[in-house]
Amino acid sequence: MKKHIILLSLLGMLFHSCMDEPVIQPNSYEGNFNALWEIIDTKYCYLDYKNIDWDSIYTAYHQRIPYIKTDLDFFDFLGKMLEELKDGHVNLYSGFDVSRYWKWYTDYPENFSSDIIYSDRYLGENYRIAGGMRYQKIDNGNIGYIYYGDFTSDFSDTNIGYIFKYFSNCKGIILDVRNNGGGYMSGAEQLASYFFTEKTLTGYLCHKTGPGHTDFSTPIKLFTPANKNVQWLRPVVILTNRMTYSATNDFVNRMRKAPYAIILGDKTGGGGGMPLSSEIPNGWMVRVPTSPMFDANMQHIEWGIDPDINIALKPEDAARGYDTLIERAVALIKFL
Partner 1 sequence: MIKHSSCRFGLIKPSLIAGILIIVCFSINAQSSNQSEKALTTSTNSFGFSTINMLDSYLSPLKYSGSGFRYENDNRKFVSPENISLSKENHFKMNFGLTENPAQTSEMWYLGMNFSWGMHHHFYVGENLLLLAGGLWDLDFMGKTNSRNQNNPFNIDLATNLNLSVEAVYRIRTPKRMLRLGFSMQAPFIGVMFVPEQGASYYEIFELQNFSNTLHFTSLHNKLSLTENLSLDIPFNHTTLRFGFRNENLKFEANQMIFKRNDLSFHVGYIYDFYKFEGTKNRAPSGFNSTYNY
Give the nearer residue to partner 1 in terms of CB position, either 111 or 282. Answer: 282
Of the pair 13, 319, the CB lying nearest partner 1 is at 13
Q: In the bound complex, what is the minimum distance in angstroms from residue 96's beta carbon to partner 1?
A: 12
Nearer to partner 1, 78 or 329 (CB): 78
Over the range 225-242, which residues count as b (16 or more CB within 10 Å of their CB) and which as e? ebbeebbbebbbbbbbbb
Please state the closest distance from residue 282 (CB atom) to partner 1, in A.
5
Pairing of strands 200-205, 285-295: antiparallel
Query: Quick one: 16 or 228, whose CB is closer to partner 1?
Result: 16
- Least distance to partner 1 from the beta carbon of 22, Å? 6
State which residue, 15 or 335, has the beta carbon closest to partner 1: 15
- Closest contact distance (angstroms) between CB of 327 and partner 1 is 37
- What does the alpha-carbon distance between residue 260 and residue 226 come to, in Å, rounded to a whole number? 13
**Closest distance between partner 1 and the C-beta of residue 93, in Å?**
8
Least Å from the CB of residue 28 to partner 1: 12
Question: C-beta of 236: minimal distance to partner 1 in Å?
Answer: 25
Which residue, 21 or 125, is less far from partner 1 as judged by CB?
21
Instruction: Please provide residue 20's backbone torsions phi and psi, each rounded to the nearest 5 degrees.
Output: -75, 125
- Cβ at position 169, least distance to partner 1 in Å: 36
User: Which positions touch partner 1 (CB under 8 A)?
Assistant: 1, 5, 8-9, 12, 15-16, 18-22, 24, 27, 35, 39, 43, 45, 93, 95, 185-186, 205, 207-211, 217-218, 220, 222, 274-279, 281-285, 287, 290-291
In our burial notation (b when 16+ CB lie closer than 10 A, e otherwise), range 64-101 reads eeeebeebeebbebbbebbebbbbbbbbbbbeeeebeb
Query: Given the complex with partner 1, which of 24 and 319 has the nearer CB atom?
Result: 24
Which residue lies nearer to partner 1 by CB, 176 or 302? 302
